[in-house]
Amino acid sequence: MPTIRRALAAMIPLSVVTALSVTACGTTAPVAGAAYGATPSASSPESAAPSASADNGGPMIPATTELLVEKTSAGYVLATSTGRTVYWYARDVKGSGKSSCNAACLHAWPAVKGTASAAPGVKLAGILGKISGTGGATQATYDGYPLYTYAGDTAAGQTTGNDSGGVWHVFSGSQAAADPAAAAAASKAALKR
């Protein structure tokens, strides 16, 4: 009997986190440790340049995050330099300088950290920027929307979070670039450098 009680007690926090994720994000949380849910490794391009918070023992946050255009099953989409599809959240207010995704939501929809920049040779249609995100970390923006990836995307080029809960969307086609095919070709060339 004590073993069953301990097992039930261990499951309660997990069910609370799952319920918060559903409420906060409009979708269920992906399995922990999924490829896109993991923190970038020290060797990944997104973690190469630490921010000032790393000097204080805080997490390594990139100074810039390169964005590119990648061809996926959802068409040409905005992505990070590691191939993670980038999403915007319909509950964020364009140009407000704030993210509406926090706490449990950020576990399923990690913020794209750092100041956004286009990969070399890639011409994007939108305006790149940044906001002060959760905990004061810099979060990349595109056309005034804070950017996120989806922990449920487990391989580069996946778009499984698109239209999730009716509030998560990719930047696709002409939203990403005036000539998406040319931007995707430039993106591939930039990655080979």
Q: pLDDT value at position 15?
A: 39
Paired strand residues for 170: 87
CB 86 within 8 A of CB 118: no
| pLDDT on residue 49 | 37
Q: For the chain (length 193 residues), average pLDDT per consecutive 10?
A: 48 40 46 36 36 47 86 97 97 96 94 95 96 89 97 96 98 96 94 80
Q: What is the pLDDT of residue 182?
A: 96
The amino acid that residue 163 corresponds to is D
End-to-end C-alpha distance for the chain, whole angstroms: 61
3-state secondary structure of 141: strand
pLDDT at 90: 98
Q: Give the pLDDT of residue 25.
A: 54
